[in-house]
Amino acid sequence: MQQSQNGRRVLPVLTNSINKSPGSDLPPEITSRRWMYSQMTRAVLKKIVRAPFSIHTWAALRRTLMSNFLPENLSYRYKAYQRGECNRCGLCCKIQFQCPFFVDEGPYNTHCSVYTTPHAPSACLKFPLDPLDLKLLQREVGNACTFYYEGAPQKLSILEFARLYTEGIRQQFAKRKLKEITEAD
C-alpha cells in the first residue's frame, strides 16, 4: 500500500489505473477498452461454438493453455530451433473468422492492432509454440506461413518436466517481485 497526498492509503494497482488517462495505452484502431474486451469475448465464443467442427479450434485452445500456464522456460523450448519470420500474410488471423484486431493494408502488409500493447493475447505473442502448433496451422493455410523448425530440444521425462516447471514458476515470481520493488521506488 502507498500513502497518497491527502493521507489515505491507495493500492498500487488502483493507482496505476487511476493515474492513466483512459485509452492512453490503446492504439488508434481500438476505440475503447470495453470494445476491445467485448471483441475478445466474442472471438472466444465463436471458437467455442465451432469447436466440435474444427481441429483448428482445438489447436488454438492448446496454444492458449500452453502459453498461459507454462512458464517461459518451457513455452520457449522450441524457439532456438525456429527459423523463418512472419511474412505478414495474415492467414493465421482469419482461419475460422477474421480476428477483430486484424488490420489489412494490402497483400503481405497486415498487422494486429493489439500486438504491441499489454492486452495482446499470449497465444498470439508466442506463436508458433512448437512444431505441432505450426503443423496444425499449415494444415489450415497451406504452406503460406514461412516459419519452420530445424531440430528439436531433448525429450523431457516427467521428473525433468516437473523440475523445469517448478524452476520456471520460481523465476516468474522472482521477476514479479523485482518489478514490484522497482515500481515502489
CA-based nearest residue to 74, from 167, 151, 6: 167
Query: For residue 56, what is the enclosing H or E element?
Result: helix 55-69
Q: Is 88 within a domain?
A: yes
What pTM was computed for the model? 0.69
For residue 13, how many C-alpha atoms fall within 13 Å in the half-sphere facing its CB?
Answer: 0
CA angle 56, 54, 142 (to 5 degrees): 50
Each residue of 83-100: pLDDT tens digit?
998 888 888 888 878 888
Structural domain includes residue 124: yes
Please tell me the total count of domains within the chain. 1
* 23 within some domain: no
In a domain, 164, yes or no: no
Beta strands per DSSP E along the chain: 2-3, 9-10, 82-83, 102-104, 110-112, 148-149
Confidence of residue 51 (pLDDT cuts 50, 70, 90): confident
Reported as a pLDDT band with limits 50, 70 and 90, residue 167 is very high
Is residue 44 situated within a structural domain?
yes
pLDDT at 19 over 80: no
Query: What's the domain range around 32?
Result: 28-70+83-151
Q: What confidence tier does 145 reach under pLDDT thresholds 50, 70, 90?
A: confident
